[in-house]
Structure 1
Amino acid sequence: MTTTTRRAALALTLMAPSIVRAQGTRWPDRPIRMIVPFGTGGGTDITMRLLAPKLAQILGVSVVVENRPGGGSTVGTDYVAKLPPDGATFVFATLSSTGLAVGLYRNLPYDPVRDLTAIAPTNFIPICHSITTRGLTARTTEEWIAALRANPGRYSYGSAGVGTSGHIASAAFLTQTGTEAVHVPYRAPGQVYTALIAGEIQFNSDIPSLMLPYHTDGQARTLFVATDERSSLMPDVPTAAEVGLPGYKSYSWYGVFGPANLPAPITTRMASAIDEALADPAISARLEAMGTPTMRGYTPERFAQYVKDEIALWVPIVRASGATAD
C-alpha cells in the first residue's frame, strides 16, 4: 500500500464516525420511523409491530411504525427512496416492492437497487392458495382447476394490491393452469379475507398464518402451499408439486431498507440491531409460529446481492404471467 493509499484509507476510517455524528451526537439521536408500505393487519404490519419494540430497546430510541399503503407497496417504498439518507426513516419492503414491482411497472418511480440501501432481511414468507367454501363445490386442486376451465373469467381473486406477492402468485397460477379469472385489488389484507369468506371473491394467495383460521373453521379451503415443503402450520395441506403443479413456486420475504447512500455506519448498526432482534427467543418463536422463519446472518452486502438475484429471477416470471400495473 502506497503512502497516498494509506492516507486515503485513514481518512475514510476517520470519516465514518463523523458521518454518524453529523446526524447528531450519535446515531440514532431521535425517534426512527419505520414505513410499512401496506395496510394494517397483514404480514408486514404484524411482523414490524412485533420487531419495533425490540429494535427500540436495542437502539435506545422509539421506533414508530407508520402504514403508507398503495400501489402494491410502491407508494410507501417510493416515499422513503426520495428521503435524505439521514437515518431517520426506513421502509419495511418486500419482494413485492422490489423484484415484482420492476416486472409490473414500466415507469416505476424508483430503482430498488439504485434508490434504496439494502440493510437486512427479516423473514421468509411461503404462499398458499385458498378458495372460498361459499358457493364452490370444489374440494381438490384438480376440481378447482376444472371449474376455472369450465368458467373462464367467471371467478375472481383478491389481493392486498396490484403487484403484491398475492397478486402475482395467483396470476402465475392462472398462467400455469391455462385458466382465467378477474383480479380484485384491495387496500388491506383484512378486506381480502372478508370478501373471501363472504364468497365475493373465490380465491386468493397469501401467507399460511393469515389463512389458517379460515381453513380451520371451514370458511375457506387451502388447497396447496407453493413451496418445496409443507407448512408447519398446515401439515395437512400438500405442496404444489404434490397436487400436480411441478415447478410452481411462490413466496415473499420482508426486509428493511433505507434511502440511497445511507452512511455505512448507520447501515451496519441497523443491520446488527435487526439481527439481534431476530435472535430474541420470543420473537423468533412468534415468527416460526406464523410460519415465516427468520432470515438471520445477512450482512448488508449479502442482502443487497440477494435483492439483485431476486429481481433477476422474478421479473421474467411476472412478465410471463401477463400481469401489469401501468
Structure 2
Amino acid sequence: MKKTVSILMLAMMAASLAACSPTTTATTAAEVKASDTAGSTDSQKTAPSASANSSIDNWPEHPITIIIGFSAGSGTDLGARYMASALEKVLGVSVVVENNAGSGSWIAWNQVMYNSGTDGYTVGLINHNFPMGAYNTAAIRKETLDDVQLLVNQVLDSNVLAIRSNENRFTDVASFIDYSKENDVMIAVQTVGITDGDATCAEWFRNTYGSKIITVPVDSAAEGLNMFKAGDVDVFFGNVGDVYVAHNEGEMKAVCQFSEKRSEFLPDVPTITEAGFDEYIGFSARGYFYPQGVEPAIVEKMQDAMMLAMEDPDYQENMTKLGLGLMPMKGDDFYNLLASQLENRKKVWNIQ
C-alpha cells in the first residue's frame, strides 16, 4: 500500500513539474525579449547622435539652394550664380539659385531664417541693408546681425557720385557742392532713409555742405539710371558697378568715390577726401548667411568652401566683368564690415 502511495505521489510531482516547466520557459523568453527591447530602445536613443555625426561628416550629400531677394538678371543675382558655379566645383554637389524678390529682400531673409531648416542645405544672400531693418521707420524689423550666422562676404561696391559727360553746370565735386548750395538738384532714389545708399549720400551732402538735393522716387536702380541718362534728374548716386563701364566709355563722368581708396575699376576717380572734402565711407556689401541652429561644423565647412570658391579663376573673371570689387572675408570680419556701414548711416540720419 505504501509502495502504491509512493508511486502515486511521484506521478503527481512529475505532472506538477511538467505543468510548471512551460511557464518557467515562457517567463524566461519574455524576459529575454524585454531585455532585447530595452537594448533596442537604448540603441535608438543614441542613434540620432551617431546619425547626426555621420551627416555632418558626409555633408553635403544633397543639392544646396542659395535664396536671394533680387530678381533674375540683376548684378546681385549674377554674382550669386557665379558663386554657385564655383561652389559646385568645391563641394561636388549641385548648387542652385532661387530668386524670391520683394520687401527689400525681407521675404527671402524670412524664408531662410524661419522656413528652410537648419541642415545646412539652404543659404541666404545677405547685404548691408539687413542690419538697418531695425532702424527703417517705414517697416521696422526685429532681427539683427546676431539673429543669423554670417558665412562670407563676397562683394564690396563703393558709392560714387556721377554727372553727365556733357554737364556744364558743374564738372567736379567742388563745383557740384557750390552749385547745389544755391540751386535745387534732383536725384532718383528707390527709398528715402537709412536703407538706401544713394539717399544716404544725398543726405550727407545736405548735412555737411547744405546741398539742396531733391529726391525723386523710382522702383529700381535701373530706372534711376535711365532717368539720369535721359536728363530727367541732375546727378546720379550709385555704386562703382553701376557706372564704371559708362564712365570708362565716356558716357558719364564719375567725380568721386565714397571709399578709403580708389576702386581698381575707377583708378582715375578720386575719393571724396582726395577731392579735398570730409570723409564719408559708403558701400554696398553682399555675402551669405545661415539661419541660427546650423551645426558649427557645417558652418565652418561652408565658410571654407566659399572662401575657396572665390579663388576660382573663372569666378574672378566673371565678377570682374561685372565691375564688382571682390572682398572675401568671413565670420567676425564680415560682421564688423556690415556693422561699420550701419554706424556710418546712423550718423548721417542722426539715429541713436
Please classify the TM superposition score into its range, dividing by the shorter chain length.
0.7 to 0.9
Deviations 1:175-228 (A, max 9, x none): 322223233454443333222211233333333232022223443221101112
Aligned to 2:344: 317
The structural deviation recorded for 1:140 is 1.3
Q: Do the aligned residues in 2 keep the contact of 1:40 with 1:188 (CA within 8 Å)? A: no
Aligned mate of 2:55, from 13, 21, 26: 21
Aligned mate of 2:186, from 141, 144, 155: 155
The structural deviation recorded for 1:160 is 8.1
Letter in 1 for 2:344: I
Aligned to 1:97: 130
CA distance in 1, matches of 2:258, 2:337: 20
User: What is the TM-score when the length of structure 1 is the normalising length?
Assistant: 0.79
Letter in 1 for 2:188: Y
Letter in 2 for 1:38: F
Deviations 1:146-175 (A, max 9, x none): 2322224x5123348861433433433433
The structural deviation recorded for 1:323 is 8.6
Letter in 1 for 2:187: S
Deviations 1:234-278 (A, max 9, x none): 222111012232222212322110112222122112111101101
Structure 1 segment 170-319 matched on structure 2, within 5 A: 170-288=202-320, 290-296=323-329, 298=330, 300=331, 302-303=332-333, 306-308=334-336, 310-311=338-339, 313-319=340-346
Q: Do the aligned residues in 2 keep the contact of 1:172 with 1:321 (CA within 8 Å)? A: yes
Q: Do the aligned residues in 2 keep the contact of 1:121 with 1:253 (CA within 8 Å)? A: yes
Q: Where is the helix percentage greater, Structure 1 or Structure 2?
A: 2
SS of 2:259's equivalent in the other structure is coil
CA distance in 2, matches of 1:291, 1:90: 21
Q: Aligned pair in 2 of structure 1 residues 134, 41: CA closer, same or farther (>3 Å)?
A: farther
Aligned mate of 1:86, from 119, 138, 148: 119
Structure 2 residue 143 is matched with structure 1 residue 111: yes
Q: Do the aligned residues in 2 keep the contact of 1:34 with 1:91 (CA within 8 Å)? A: yes
Aligned to 1:5: none
Aligned to 1:10: none
In structure 1, runs of 5+ residues without a counterpart are 1-13
Q: Do the aligned residues in 1 keep the contact of 2:157 with 2:241 (CA within 8 Å)? A: no
Deviations 1:33-75 (A, max 9, x none): 2122233444422321211111123223322222333343333
Q: Aligned pair in 2 of structure 1 residues 234, 65: CA closer, same or farther (>3 Å)?
A: same
The structural deviation recorded for 1:308 is 5.0
In structure 2, runs of 5+ residues without a counterpart are 1-47
CA distance in 1, matches of 2:336, 2:173: 33
CA distance in 2, matches of 1:140, 1:96: 29
After the TM superposition, which parts of structure 1 deviate over 6 Å for at least 4 consecutive aligned residues?
A: none
Segment of structure 1 superposing worse, 248-257 or 212-221:
212-221
CA distance in 2, matches of 1:254, 1:18: 31
What is the identity percentage for the equivalent residue pairs of Structure 1 and Structure 2? 21
CA distance in 1, matches of 2:106, 2:200: 15
Q: Aligned pair in 2 of structure 1 residues 314, 231: CA closer, same or farther (>3 Å)?
A: closer
CA distance in 2, matches of 1:308, 1:277: 22
How many residues are treated as equivalent by the alignment? 302
Structure 2 residue 81 is matched with structure 1 residue 54: no
Q: Do the aligned residues in 2 keep the contact of 1:130 with 1:220 (CA within 8 Å)? A: yes
CA distance in 2, matches of 1:20, 1:206: 47
SS of 1:241's equivalent in the other structure is coil
The structural deviation recorded for 1:138 is 1.9
